[in-house]
Amino acid sequence: MAAEQNTTLLTLCGVKKHYPITRGILRRQVGAVKAVDGVDLNVNRGETMGLVGESGCGKSTLGRVILRLEELTAGEIFFAGKSLNALKGSSLHRLRKKMQVIFQDPYSSLNPRQTIGRIIGEGLVIHKIGSAVERRERVLHLMDIVGLRPEQINRYPHEFSGGQRQRISIARALALQPEFIICDEPLSALDVSIQAQVINLLEDLQEQYDLTYLFISHDLSVVRHISDRVAVMYSGRLIEMAPKDELYEHPYHPYTQALLQAVPVADPAAAGKRKELVAGVNDAPFPPHGCKFSPHCPHSSPECEAEIPTFYEVRPDHWVRCYRSNA
């Protein structure tokens, strides 16, 4: 599953997304929620980049910013070498054919008033691709690829199970033959047995169509299975990034270690020896200027609270945002 090419498809440089906090009759800004706070990331063609972290750490917001569903506050985004920041109108419209998304909840991301045929083919209509007959043939082909029957084309989303609805979402994402797909926790609303089927489908589609994935999830076991590299996010920042086996076997950042400790294990004896995560994300009333995990970190120092650590390469292709890793 690892990418054979090492050509960078997506590059994020210092990407920020802040939401203003306002007060008073004049709605003056008194602060900001820093949902994404300076993310640097490269995603190579043909690979699956896993993005993990607790709920509320900014994973989904980052995905929406990449797709230009949310306008970034600062930073730059490059796709296939072209800057996305200045794209507007027809230029942005054309780009959307190459970048698609599979949303988390298949129950709310599908229009209940449309048949699945219209849902899957909506992108073809918007981009004026093919005739009505050709679009129908394309929709039927996509349905077959994701495991849906042709006679289901005129049915509505409520007539399908959760797993089938996510297959509809996958078919919709494939309709415009994209190069890059953001999978925003596509398994979290599904039963475990259905999750395995969807993972296998995503892997097969990646190999068949040379797709590149950004796979967002809080399920560490799923991320290890499907990803080539994994980035860990905490409170809007990436704190560690490495090839999947390297990250899981040699975690450096104290938060990554605590996150991996939280993965359920079948052995009660082993579970009793594990450390617990001392606090959740973004729960410090006055987060420090430096490392936002420092109020909860057992290795915190004044330096951690004063300055934001930079990424250090502690092992080949293994990057950590922690002063301790550079000691």
What average pLDDT does the segment 290-299 reach?
82
Query: In the CATH scheme, what architecture does the domain 8-23+30-98+178-268 have?
Result: 3-Layer(aba) Sandwich (3.40)
In the chain, where are the structural domains located?
Answer: 8-23+30-98+178-268, 112-175
pLDDT of residue 232: 96
**How far apart, in whole angstroms, are the C-alpha atoms of residue 169 and residue 157?**
10
Say how far apart CA 243 and CA 318 lie, in whole Å.
7
Report d(CA 278, CA 8) in Å as an integer: 37
Region 228-246: what's the mean pLDDT? 95
- Per-residue pLDDT of 300-317, as tens digits, reads 888 887 888 888 899 999
Greater confidence, 263 or 35? 35
* Coil vs helix vs strand at 318: strand
118, pLDDT greater than 60: yes
pLDDT tens profile 82-103: 899 888 888 888 888 999 999 9
d(CA 147, CA 109): 19
Would you state the pLDDT for residue 233? 95
Sheet containing 48-52, strands listed edge to edge, beginning at the edge strand earlier in sequence: 99-102, 180-184, 212-217, 48-52, 229-234, 237-243, 318-321, 311-315
Confidence grade of residue 206 (pLDDT, cut at 50, 70, 90): very high
Q: What is the pLDDT of residue 1?
A: 40
Model confidence, pTM: 0.89
**What pLDDT, on a 0 to 100 scale, did the predictor assign at position 3?**
39
Share of the chain above pLDDT 70, in %: 90
Give the pLDDT score at 268: 61
Kindly give the pairing relationship between strand 237-243 and strand 229-234: antiparallel
Which residue has better confidence, 285 or 49? 49
The pLDDT score that the predictor gives to residue 279 is 47
3-class DSSP state of 29: strand
The share of the chain scoring above pLDDT 90, in percent, equals 61
- In the predicted model, what is the mean pLDDT of residues 20-39? 87
Asked if residue 128 lies in contact with residue 148, where contact means CB atoms within 8 angstroms, the answer is no
User: Is the per-residue pLDDT at 284 higher than 60?
Assistant: no
pLDDT at 178 exceeding the cut of 80: yes
